[in-house]
Structure 1
């Protein structure tokens, strides 16, 4: 986890919910089945220059972090998740933990529960969009263009989710979002804080089994998140 999620709410909803000041160009279309390396919306609050006030932005980013020192964009394919236990010390993620923290909006995410040789997909969601703790980086392409990329932090699963999969994304509660985004906050302390309350942040989420179609990254549509056997 997290290897597939849903972000189908319109950008206008995200602007209101996350108190966005500016919206970037080329935001991705709604998707009910987002795999790594896709373009996804993220919320960032870069360090302001001089005495300018902070500006919270909604931007499009490639899911799979590509650090500034990378030789090739392909390194991001294996960096779509970052383990919260080691992110602050790993060269791939440590600079982003310090000063480039993001929120990754999501309507919910999918997880597969293993039963012998079978895997059953579940959909985990709230009543409105939630936010994953994310990291971001800028990478300069060979043609001189800049690529914004992101990774989702994970932690040990809690509560009902621990019976489905051993890992879950770090969900950031609304009360913690400002501190997590603030680049002047100590990054390691901010990480410890969101991980410490991650179990509470997922406690009110709903879980239900969905159909196997979601396993195919080419599948799309709201029916992917419908309960397999509705009551």
Structure 2
């Protein structure tokens, strides 16, 4: 699973990396993004009025809330979507069809059992990683719209299997455009393709033991990702 992650990249770097056209109101960088926190996502809504699609970097509340939900209370239970069943789930299937996102992270945390030792999973230099995500818009009683998101997970492979039986789906860069394209059919076949490609991304990732302070959702700052020992 993915229950806590780092988003410490400069927004300008994300704009360049993901070829973003427009940027929304983004939160401050965080070294301890927790469920229901706001964090950047890359989305590309369907084009309107025969114009080209606009790729946006927006802030989304982590934990997908479908439009039909009565309130936001279920968000924390929908921070992850299992890739094996996402196309069958009422909560996620509509978003999989046309509202797919890239969730940029600088790494994510996993706790190795049984001693619950925290590790940061990261790319060389803590470079941004694009995770496969979904998004949805939820309209509150006051008429305000809330953008929400979830991260797809799959069976862990390689060195990551020693930490947890699940891992977030790391999108291969060559699939970024396809995943975001609302005109591409979003079904189980697409999910299976990105999951298969994700397994090939794992060997490039590294593990770093970090401080147990990351277990406190109130903790934040660069010190959380510093190696211990």
Q: TM-score range by the shorter chain?
A: over 0.9
1:104 aligns with 2:137: no
Q: 2: CA distance between counterparts of 1:201 and 1:98?
A: 24
Which runs of 5 or more structure 2 residues have no equivalent in the other structure?
Answer: none
Matched, 1:88 2:92: no
Q: Does 1:124 align with 2:121?
A: yes
Question: Which residue is 1:4 aligned to?
Answer: 4
User: C-alpha distance in 1, partners of 2:34/2:160?
Assistant: 20
Superposition CA RMSD, Å: 0.8
**Residue in structure 1 matched with residue 72 of structure 2 by the alignment:** 73
- Superposed displacement of residue 32, structure 1: 0.3
Question: Per-residue CA shift, 1:36-73, capped at 9, x if unaligned?
Answer: 00001000000001310111000010000010010111
Q: TM-score, normalising length from structure 1?
A: 0.96
Residue 203 (1) aligns with residue 203 (2): yes
> In structure 2, what is the equivalent of residue 58 of structure 1?
57
Q: Give a deviation string over 1:144-187, Cα, whole Å, max 9, x none.
A: 01000000000000100001100000000111100000011111
Alignment match, 1:140:
139
Partner of 1:169: 168
Structure 1 consecutive aligned stretches of length 4 or more whose deviation exceeds 4 Å? none
- Between the aligned partners of 2:55 and 2:203, the Cα distance in structure 1 is 28
For residues 59 and 38 of structure 1, the distance between their equivalents in structure 2, rounded to whole angstroms, comes to 13
1:190 aligns with 2:190: yes
- 3-state SS of paired residue (2:35): coil
Cα deviation for residue 77 of structure 1 reads 1.7
- Alpha carbons 1:136, 1:148 under 8 Å: kept: yes
Count the aligned residue pairs.
Answer: 226
Q: Secondary structure at the match of 1:74?
A: coil
- The residue aligned with 2:216 is 216
Question: In structure 1, how many angstroms separate the alpha carbons of the residues matched to 2:156 and 2:76?
Answer: 23
* CA distance in structure 2 between the aligned counterparts of 1:186 and 1:105, rounded to whole angstroms: 23
Name the stretch that deviates more: 59-68 or 201-210: 201-210
Query: Could you tell me how far 1:190 is from its partner in structure 2?
Result: 2.1
TM-score (norm 2): 0.97
Q: Secondary structure at the match of 1:88?
A: helix
